[in-house]
Amino acid sequence: MTKIVRDIAYVRSGDKGDVCTAGLIARAPADYAALKASVTPAAVKSLYGDWVRGDVHCYPMDNIEAVVVVMERALGGGATKTLRLDQTGKSLGHALLRLPVVG
């Protein structure tokens, strides 16, 4: 069966204005290369469709084997005015665990 990011990483996400930020942490050092290869701006954009309307940046953190995903215009306007129940993007980041593992 194809591996998904859930099999190799933990996640925590939140908000800053209309930006949703999610940190993905490799469960084991050996998983880190695959995590970096699997979580790309293009993969993230295509996963969320019109819920992420701005640019996506993926920042590697080699020192702790993690990738920080920053999604702009991703919370329906931001916590105070979004129509979503998940106002601060705490749940939203968990969808990243569905991305297929490549490499």
- Which residues contact other proteins by CB under 8 A? 10-19, 21, 23-25, 47-51, 57, 59, 61-64, 66, 68, 70, 73, 76-81, 83-86, 90-92, 94-95, 98
State the nearest-atom distance from the C-beta of 37 to other proteins, in Å. Answer: 18
State the nearest-atom distance from the C-beta of 41 to other proteins, in Å. Answer: 14
Residue 51 sits at φ, ψ, to 5 deg, of -80, -20
Which CB atom, from 85 or from 103, has the smaller least distance to other proteins? Answer: 85
Run of H or E residues at 43: helix 41-48
- Number of continuous H segments (helices) and E segments (strands) in the chain: 2, 4
Burial class (CB in 10 A: 0-12, 13-18, 19+), 47: middle
Which amino acid does the sequence have at 75?
A: L
State the nearest-atom distance from the C-beta of 65 to other proteins, in Å. Answer: 8
State the nearest-atom distance from the C-beta of 100 to other proteins, in Å. Answer: 13
Which CB atom, from 34 or from 71, has the smaller least distance to other proteins? Answer: 71
Which CB atom, from 41 or from 73, has the smaller least distance to other proteins? Answer: 73
Distance CA 51, CA 101 (A): 22
